[in-house]
């Protein structure tokens, strides 16, 4: 079953602009993770934020987590054409049999 729900479904921006994707989930979590998928290939782990953390940075990525609203956001600053991909949030809950539950993803297109 889907736990995370990304918004928007698709996003188109120009190089240099910032891209923001949101994720909402339904039940309590231990951590939330963001992954990138290029053109139907394997997923690449980007960043993990634990339930007791509110914000995390990694290079041009900034993730926030609001457990009271059951939501997270991924910000990619100064986007590049190479950032074009699908981005998925995934929640991890020790009560869900330790399986990562993925949303359907946000498709990001960055044009030069």
Range 13-32, binding other proteins (CB under 8 A): 30-31
Q: Based on CB atoms, which residue is closest to other proteins, 89 or 110?
A: 89
Structure tokens at 5: 């729900």
End-to-end CA distance of the chain: 37
Distance, in Å, from the CA atom of 11 to the CA atom of 86, rounded to the nearest integer, reads 10
Instruction: Check residue 50 for interaction with other proteins (CB under 8 A).
Output: yes
Output the smallest distance, CB 30 to other proteins, in A. 6
Distance, in Å, from the CA atom of 70 to the CA atom of 64, rounded to the nearest integer, reads 11
Q: Which residues bind other proteins (CB under 8 A)?
A: 1-2, 30-31, 33, 35, 40-45, 48, 50, 88, 90, 92, 94, 97-105
């Amino acid at each position: 079953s889907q736990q995370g729900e990304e918004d928007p479904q698709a996003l188109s921006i120009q190089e240099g602009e910032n891209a923001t994707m949101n994720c909402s989930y339904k039940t309590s979590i231990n951590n939330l993770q963001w992954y990138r998928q290029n053109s139907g290939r394997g997923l690449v782990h980007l960043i993990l934020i634990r339930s007791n953390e509110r914000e995390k940075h990694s290079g041009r990525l900034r993730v926030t987590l609001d457990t009271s609203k059951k939501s997270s956001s991924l910000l990619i600053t100064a986007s590049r054409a190479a950032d074009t991909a699908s981005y998925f949030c995934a929640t991890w809950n020790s009560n869900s049999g330790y399986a990562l539950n993925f949303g359907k993803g946000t498709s990001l297109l960055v044009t030069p």
